Chains A and B, each alone.
Chain A
């Protein structure tokens, strides 16, 4: 069977899987951003309880393997009466896992904002909430975006793991086709190519553009 024949027969199935992969990616991306922000800020709280809570969260999710967490969420949580659908378990685990890594990025970003900015906001008698929201947060984007976009590419790659808890994504479809046709080179090769195209020609250029915009808005990347 030629490769073109293979594509015309199984291409649509792989594309359907790709759509699911993109869905998983976007949902977990949203969760990842929210969790990074919340736990990154909590990590810098002066309240020891809040700070401790986020430290435990971050160390826990970074210390155990993503696949283990995924299987735990899908196969063990039902023991406690919480049955998640595969898609929900996948998105939740991915978002929470990457959120832990992202929280550290956010924390480092906030610490990297020059001290004078804090002092100036203080001198102008801004409330603590306003200080963070209007002065500090807008300035962290040029700092956190490069490491955060690396994590985002990692997230796209990590979505492939949800196939192992029966989410019918690109990886799942590739495995399925492989087990029917045994055309391993074609189906896994095509899947690799699709992931590559998504990352290299869509996601990465978009993130680079975002980095440029953030740098311009804050006025750091003077080019």
Chain B
């Protein structure tokens, strides 16, 4: 077995890896969409007028947040079939990622709502606005910009956690690299290239999130360091 990086081999497997990258991006995108929605559901579940329901949802969020995504994936993938629900690895993976990151996004939303000054709520009450109107016209427009940086960070976070999906057999980038590596008995090039592809995709994304953060701060009239 040669030690040096074999460029010809790398070139040969590049198309395969790039195709798998499409799957990775797709998985991150779909997972994120589900997470955004589930996060909202969790948030609503904590703000009802039933105290017991609020506490229950709060504890469920805590549970999901403090346990590893990897075992959650195994749990969903292996346990659901025992109850007669057979889902493909893709569906299981997307649902689990959505659920896991939904709890994080729920915290982002919560923080954003709390970031709106209390006086805004009081002013709405004084003006006798309905609670729907208060949310729609006063609170949410102010809370949304606060939530944007956090939401962007978790999009990048989901992208970097997609390799976990390979453990239940979702054919994304890391899965493809492992397959190619196993077939050729060479892991040096596939895994190195996966690293490079991740770097190439996630650094611009991180810069974009940082810019967004600055723009949001500026629009809100905050001083920027």
Contact = CB atoms under 8 A, between A and B. Distances in A.
A223 B195 CA distance: 47
Nearest to B166: A67
B123 to A, nearest CB: 30
Contact of B192 (A62, A65, A72, A111): A72
B187 A65 contact: no
A158 interface: yes
A158 B68 contact: yes
Given A63-B203, A64-B195, A68-B195, A192 B79 contact: no
Interface in B38-60: none
A69 interface: yes
A65 B163 contact: yes
A192 B67 contact: yes
B75 interface: yes
Given A157-B68, A171-B70, A188-B79, A65 B160 contact: yes
A66 interface: yes
B199 interface: yes
A68 B191 contact: yes
A23 interface: no
A76 B177 CA distance: 12
Given A79-B188, A195-B66, A199-B66, A64 B202 contact: yes
A18 to B, nearest CB: 13
A138 interface: no
A189 interface: yes
The majority secondary structure among interface residues of chain B is: helix
A62 B206 contact: yes
A164 interface: yes
B193 to A, nearest CB: 10
Contacts of A111: 225
A174 B203 CA distance: 35
Contacts of B62: 200
A192 B3 contact: no
B163 A196 contact: no
Interface string B195-216: 1001100110010000000000
B74 interface: yes
B194 interface: yes
A72 B195 contact: yes
B194 A68 contact: yes
A198 to B, nearest CB: 8
B220 interface: no
B71 interface: yes
B32 interface: no
A218 B204 CA distance: 38
Contacts of B75: 184-185, 188-189, 192
A175 interface: yes
Nearest to B189: A76
B67 A199 contact: yes
B63 interface: yes
Nearest to A201: B66
Contact of B78 (A60, A171, A184, A199): A184
B176 to A, nearest CB: 12
Interface of A: 59-60, 62-69, 71-72, 75-76, 79-81, 111, 153, 157-161, 163-164, 171, 174-175, 178, 184-185, 188-189, 191-192, 195-196, 199-200, 204
Listed from nearest, the 7 A-B pairs whose CB atoms lie closest are A184-B78, A199-B66, A160-B68, A188-B75, A67-B163, A157-B68, A75-B187
25 contacts: A62-B206, A63-B198, A64-B198, A64-B199, A65-B162, A68-B174, A68-B198, A75-B181, A76-B188, A79-B187, A80-B3, A153-B66, A157-B68, A160-B68, A160-B71, A161-B68, A163-B70, A164-B167, A184-B79, A188-B79, A189-B79, A191-B71, A192-B63, A192-B71, A196-B63
